[in-house]
């Protein structure tokens, strides 16, 4: 099959390509196994045709009878060998495919822009890497073989029966034809119905999660009845859709079930066979293979139906896997750039849009961060503060313009080089489900224990770690839970251990509880000392000592200067400051540091 063929572009075939050879081998073995499994049944028929004439006194051909017996025994051995071989190949293919896909997915996730993760939750990654790969298991390990057998069995039986008696073979095919007609009727409009089913299922899942995940807010604000009504409405609507679908397909399913019952096949074969015997179209022994093998014509149709459903589910999973594997990677330079000679950061005409054709959220920003200074980004929610700050650790690349460190464009640096220069601490701190020690030394896995303890003490988290059951060996989420402020301090310890000259900080105290806020502020004071700092300020009182404050408005630089200069101008910053003082009169880490 050529690469340009439509089937070759099928997401499922693309996903199965790494194990295509083993799957083909498994299919061929299953075909041989299915045929070999029919040989003993044919042997019974042939023995009957050899031995039945003896009832009328005709001599029995004993040699031929023994040949049939030994061929049947040999066929059983072939079937046993080939079915085991087919199963082994398909399961090996399944295991190898799972490993291959998970490695590719994880590798791809390691190369996509960090912004990709900020736009999606962990459930997206888990579904692709775990659920969607697992959805291929039954198809590869079982359904492919079952579907092959379901197609091979009636095909071979039909050929054999047509050789014995074409008229009676046509009679035997009537139930199969009626069953296929019923199946076709029941599947009318299935494409649209399946889409509506998936949409309804997603709506039901969302309503269930909303009702359970937000139960605290629902009870607090007295919205229990409203939330339950929404869930009840979605459930009723989904149930109504399923009932309508059942009514839509009921006649076709009934026709298929009735047509494929062994009783109908048996009645038709006996009735047609007796009539043809009387008409001398067939002999008595000719009727035997139809009574023995005729029932095998319709049995595989049900198996094929289940396999078709699993094929659909696997195709959807493969489509999601291929979509993730097609996510654009963050470009890496072919050769490393020289190590920056300083921590001077410059933004030259930086603009940014989240997708091609989308309106920019940042417009033509010029900014310089001198080594060892603090630059604060302030502005209303949605002004572009977080977006601008995340361009420095290269969560994404500017749509226009460039960002440099000591004159070296970020795009000319490898990821390893960049993260030796830049680290970041954001509000939403992610900790891995591993030991506290490994979480702290994430950037430096070989860091000695004394160094880990030193940065933990500097981050004001050491005493809390020592309270955990296994101290630094305690696993997050298993040996104890950490509050938002405690997680922030672990992240600060991690950044201290990284010891990069440039730091991006989304003001961590915004996520801290009141008791730990002072500890977080002291830890931040240790962290920012001597570094080039870009901080997103939610509380203006925390950055009054910043070397420069940049006010963003709708993605543009509206004002810049020191706290005193901006207050004196009486512009946007002065209005933001007045509002901040009314909401948060207390100071922050910047004031502590200056004191």
pLDDT in tens, 215-264: 544 444 444 455 567 777 888 888 888 888 888 888 888 888 888 788 88
Strands of the sheet containing 408-409, edge to edge, are 362-369, 345-352, 400-405, 408-409
Cα(150)–Cα(34) distance, integer angstroms = 9
C-alpha distance across the termini of the chain, in Å: 74
Q: What is the reported pLDDT for 74?
A: 94
Cα(511)–Cα(485) distance, integer angstroms = 6
- What confidence tier does 591 reach under pLDDT thresholds 50, 70, 90? very low
Is residue 19 within 8 A of residue 13, CB to CB? The reply is no
Q: What is the reported pLDDT for 165?
A: 87
Q: What is the pLDDT of residues 334-375, one digit of tens each?
A: 887 787 888 899 999 999 988 777 888 999 999 999 988 889
Is residue 384 within 8 A of residue 399, CB to CB? The reply is no
- Calculate mean pLDDT across residues 497-514: 71
- Residue 256's contacts (CB-CB under 8 Å, 6 or more residues apart) are 178, 179, 180, 182, 183, 186, 301
- Calculate mean pLDDT across residues 142-147: 81
CA 56, 59, 63, 66 torsion-angle sign: positive
Q: Tell me the two tokens of residue 144.
A: 């492919």
Which ranges in 214-367 belong to alpha helices (H)? 215-220, 224-259, 262-278, 284-293, 299-325
Is residue 114 within 8 A of residue 395, CB to CB? The reply is yes
**Phi, psi for 376 (deg, rounded to 5):** -105, 135
- Calculate mean pLDDT across residues 558-567: 91
Nearest CA to 364 among 373, 356, 353, 354?
353
Q: Exposed, middle or buried: residue 313 (CB in 10 Å: 0-12, 13-18, 19+)?
A: middle
At 352, which helix (H) or strand (E)? strand 345-352
Task: Give yes or no for residue 195 having a pLDDT over 80.
Answer: no
Q: 548-553 and 374-378 as β-strands: parallel, antiparallel, unpaired?
A: parallel
Cα(462)–Cα(460) distance, integer angstroms = 6
Cα(55)–Cα(413) distance, integer angstroms = 92
CA dist 20 to 5, 16, 141, Å? 16, 6, 13
Q: What is the reported pLDDT for 3?
A: 47
Q: Tell me the two tokens of residue 454.
A: 């030193």
Q: What is the pLDDT of residues 411-439, one digit of tens each?
A: 888 888 888 888 887 766 777 788 889 98
Cα(250)–Cα(151) distance, integer angstroms = 25
Q: What is the pLDDT of residues 274-323, one digit of tens each?
A: 898 888 888 777 888 888 788 777 767 767 767 777 777 788 888 888 88
Task: Give yes or no for residue 192 having a pLDDT over 70.
Answer: yes
Task: Give yes or no for residue 7 having a pLDDT over 50.
Answer: no
- Top-level class of domain 345-594: alpha beta
Q: Tell me the two tokens of residue 547.
A: 């070397």
Q: Exposed, middle or buried: residue 456 (CB in 10 Å: 0-12, 13-18, 19+)?
A: buried
Cα(588)–Cα(450) distance, integer angstroms = 30
Which phi-psi region, left, alpha or beta, contains residue 337 (left: φ > 0; alpha: ψ -120 to 50)? Answer: beta
Task: Give yes or no for residue 584 having a pLDDT over 90.
Answer: no
Angle (nearest 5°) at CA 77 between 73 and 78: 115
Cα(268)–Cα(209) distance, integer angstroms = 54
Other beta carbons within 10 angstroms of residue 379's beta carbon come to 24
Helices (H) then strands (E): counts for the chain:
25, 10
Is residue 394 within 8 A of residue 420, CB to CB? The reply is no
Q: What is the reported pLDDT for 595?
A: 38
Lowest mean pLDDT, pick from 214-223, 372-381, 395-404 = 214-223
Is CATH 3.40.50.300 the right assignment for the domain spanning 11-164+300-329? Answer: no
Which ranges in 422-571 belong to alpha helices (H)? 436-440, 449-458, 462-467, 484-498, 514-528, 563-569
Other beta carbons within 10 angstroms of residue 383's beta carbon come to 21
Question: Quick one: what percent of the chain has pLDDT higher than 90?
Answer: 12
Q: Exposed, middle or buried: residue 402 (CB in 10 Å: 0-12, 13-18, 19+)?
A: middle
- What confidence tier does 25 reach under pLDDT thresholds 50, 70, 90? very high
CA 208, 210, 215, 218 torsion-angle sign: negative
- Calculate mean pLDDT across residues 395-407: 90
Which ranges in 365-448 belong to alpha helices (H)? 385-391, 415-421, 436-440
Dihedral, 31, 32, 35, 36 alpha carbons, nearest 10: -150
- What confidence tier does 70 reach under pLDDT thresholds 50, 70, 90? very high
Question: Quick one: what percent of the chain has pLDDT higher than 70?
Answer: 85
Cα(417)–Cα(202) distance, integer angstroms = 42
């Amino acid at each position: 099959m050529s690469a340009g063929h439509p089937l070759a572009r099928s997401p499922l075939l693309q996903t199965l390509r790494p194990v295509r050879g083993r799957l083909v081998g498994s299919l061929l073995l299953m075909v041989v196994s299915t045929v070999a499994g029919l040989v003993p049944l044919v042997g019974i028929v042939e023995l009957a045709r050899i031995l039945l004439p003896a009832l009328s006194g005709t001599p029995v051909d004993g040699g031929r009878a023994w040949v049939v017996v030994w061929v049947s025994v040999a066929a059983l051995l072939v079937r046993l060998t080939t079915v085991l071989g087919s199963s082994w190949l398909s399961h090996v293919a399944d295991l190898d495919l799972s490993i291959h896909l998970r490695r590719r997915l994880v590798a791809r996730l390691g190369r996509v822009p960090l912004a990709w993760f900020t736009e999606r939750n962990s459930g997206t990654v888990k579904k692709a890497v775990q659920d969607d790969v697992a959805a291929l298991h039954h198809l590869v390990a079982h359904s492919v073989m079952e579907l092959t057998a379901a197609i091979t069995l009636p095909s071979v039986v039909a050929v054999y029966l047509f050789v014995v008696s074409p008229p009676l073979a046509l009679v035997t095919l009537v139930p199969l034809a009626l069953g296929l007609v019923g199946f076709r009727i029941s599947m009318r409009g299935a494409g649209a119905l399946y889409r509506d089913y998936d949409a309804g299922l997603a709506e039901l899942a969302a309503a269930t999660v909303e009702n359970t995940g937000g139960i605290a807010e629902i009870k607090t604000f007295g919205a229990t009845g409203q939330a339950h009504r929404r869930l009840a409405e979605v459930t009723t609507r989904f149930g109504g859709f399923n009932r309508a679908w059942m009514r839509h397909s009921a006649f076709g399913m009934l026709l298929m079930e009735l047509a494929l019952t062994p009783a109908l096949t048996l009645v038709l074969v006996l009735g047609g066979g007796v009539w043809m015997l009387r008409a001398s179209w067939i002999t008595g022994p000719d009727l035997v293979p139809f009574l023995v093998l005729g029932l095998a014509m319709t049995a595989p149709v049900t198996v094929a139906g289940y396999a078709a459903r699993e094929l659909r589910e696997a195709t959807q999973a493969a489509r999601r896997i291929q979509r993730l594997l097609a996510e654009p990677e963050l470009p890496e330079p072919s050769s490393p750039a020289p190590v920056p000679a300083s921590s001077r950061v410059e933004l030259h005409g930086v603009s940014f849009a989240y997708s091609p054709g989308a309106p920019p959220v940042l417009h033509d920003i010029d900014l310089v961060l001198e080594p060892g200074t603090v630059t604060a980004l302030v502005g209303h929610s949605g002004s572009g503060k977080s977006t601008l700050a995340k361009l420095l650790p290269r969560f994404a690349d500017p749509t226009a313009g460039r960002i440099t460190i000591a004159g070296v464009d970020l795009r000319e640096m490898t990821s390893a080089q960049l993260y030796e220069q830049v680290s970041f601490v954001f509000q939403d701190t992610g900790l891995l489900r591993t030991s506290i020690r490994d979480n702290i030394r994430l950037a430096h896995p070989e860091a000695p224990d004394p160094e880990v303890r030193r940065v933990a003490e500097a981050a004001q988290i050491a005493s809390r770690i020592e309270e955990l059951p296994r101290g630094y060996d305690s696993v997050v989420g298993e040996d104890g839970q950490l509050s938002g402020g405690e997680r922030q301090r672990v992240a600060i310890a991690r950044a201290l251990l990284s010891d990069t000259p440039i730091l991006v900080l989304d003001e961590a105290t915004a996520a801290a509880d009141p008791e730990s806020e002072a500890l977080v502020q002291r830890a931040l004071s240790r962290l920012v000392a001597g570094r080039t700092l870009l901080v997103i300020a939610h509380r203006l009182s925390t950055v009054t000592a910043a070397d420069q404050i940049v006010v963003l408005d709708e993605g543009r630089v509206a004002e810049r200067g020191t706290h005193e200069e901006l207050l004196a101008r009486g512009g946007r910053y002065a209005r933001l400051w007045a509002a901040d003082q009314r909401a948060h009169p207390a100071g922050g880490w910047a004031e502590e540091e200056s004191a």
